[in-house]
Amino acid sequence: MSGTLELAQRLIARPSVTPEDAGCQCLLQERLAQRGFRAEALRFGQVDNLWTRRGNDGPLFVFAGHTDVVPAGPTSSWRFPPFEPTVHEGQLYGRGAADMKGSVAAFVTAVERFTRDCPGHRGSIALLITSDEEGPAVDGTRRVVDWLQAQDIQIDWCLVGEPSSEAVVADTVKIGRRGSLNARITVHGVQGHVAYPHKARNPVHQFAPALQELTSAEWDAGNASFPPTTFQVSNINAGTGATNVIPGEVELLCNFRFSTETTPEALQHIVQDVLDRHGLDASVEWTLSAMPFLTESGTLVDATCAAVREVTGQDTVLSTGGGTSDGRFIAPTGAQVLELGPLNATIHQVDERVGVSDLETLSAIYEAILRRLLG
C-alpha cells in the first residue's frame, strides 16, 4: 500500500462532518513534526484549524485544505460504509475521498519526500488546514488569514487542494473563481380569498414579469479569464398551502456568480431598478459570499503547468469555473492562489471516490511544484 493511500484511508475513517475535525489535524501534525514542521493549533469558536510551518524565511509556499466533510446521508445508500474507507477496482471509496482528504494526504506525502530529498530547501513550506470549509466558513480559513496578518506572515504562493479535475487528474487547474452574491427578495401583497381577487393583491402575479426580466437578462459578456455573470433562482416560496388563499407575500432566494466585469454594487442597483420599475412593494436582503479573484500567469502558474506536464505528459487547462473555495480568503492578501486536486465527478455524492493511482499522481505533481519553487 502506498503512503498516500494509507494516510487518505486513516483520514477518511475519521467522521469529521463540519465543524468536527475528529482528530484528523492531530494526525497530520504528528506526521509533519517528524519533518521539522512547527504547529499552531488555532481553535476559533467550534472550529479547529491547523497552521504548521517548516522554515522561517521567504518565499512562503502554502498547501491549503480542509478536513471537514459534508454529511454522508443514509449509509444504506452507499456501496460501502462512508467512513470505512474501501478500495474496490482501483477506486478509494469514502466520504471526503475526493473532497478533500485525498488531496490533504497527497500534500503530506509530497512534503515528506521533498524535505527528505531537499532538507536545506530555500524559503518555507506550510499547511493551512481547517474544519470549516464545508460549513459557514466563518471561523476557518477566514480567521486563520486574519491571524496570519496579525503575525505579519505573508503567503507568497498557495495551492488549494480542491477537486479541480474533470476527466483525468490534473487536466484542469483553477486559477481563480467567480464572485458569489446572494439575495433574498420578498415581494409584499395582500392576502385574500381566491374567489375575491379584487380584495387582495397577489404578489406572485405581480412579481412574475420582473422575475422574467431578471432571468432573461444578460449581465455581462465575461472576459478572457471569466465566463459571463449568471443569475439563478434557488428557491421560491409563497402561500399557506391552501388552494383557496391568495398569498400575502412571495419570497425568492437567488444567487449571482459574477465575473470581474461587474461589481456587487452594480448588480444590486440593477435588481432594485427592475423591482422599482415594476412598481413592486419589495425588500431585498443581500449577502456577499465571495469576491472574484484571479491569479495571472506567473511563477506559481508556470511552475504548476510545468509540473503537470512533467508528471502526466499532458498540458492542463486553466479555468475559473465552478463554485467558491477558501482561496477567496487568501487571494486578497496578495498571494498567488490556484487550485489543483482530484476528479470532481463524485464530490458530495453517495459513493464518493477517488482513483488510487490519481492520489499518487497528485502527490508527485505537488512534489514537482515544490522542487521548482523551493528546490
> 118 to each of 33, 112, 127, how far by Cα in Å?
16, 10, 18
Q: What is the largest CA-CA distance in the chain?
A: 82
* Catalytic residue check, 276: no
Q: How far apart are CA 84 and CA 12, in angstroms?
A: 7
Cell of 171: 487536466
Answer for the pair 70, 18: CB distance below 8 angstroms, yes or no. yes
- At 324, list the grid cell: 467558491
Determine if residue 197 is left, alpha or beta; phi over 0 gives left, psi from -120 to 50 gives alpha, anything else beta.
alpha
Of 21, 48, 68, 134, catalytic: 68
Residue 208 has which C-alpha cell? 412574475
In the DSSP assignment, the letter for residue 131 is: S
User: Distance between CA atoms of 187 and 238, rounded to whole angstroms?
Assistant: 10
281 labelled catalytic: no
Q: Which residues pair with 211 in a beta bridge?
A: none
Reference 94, options 169, 5, 26; nearest CA is 5
Q: Considering the candidates 99, 133, 249, 367, report the single residue annotated as catalytic.
A: 133
> Are the C-beta atoms of residues 273 and 214 closer than 8 Å to each other?
no
Rounded CA separation 114/364 (Å): 10
**What are the catalytic residues?**
68, 133
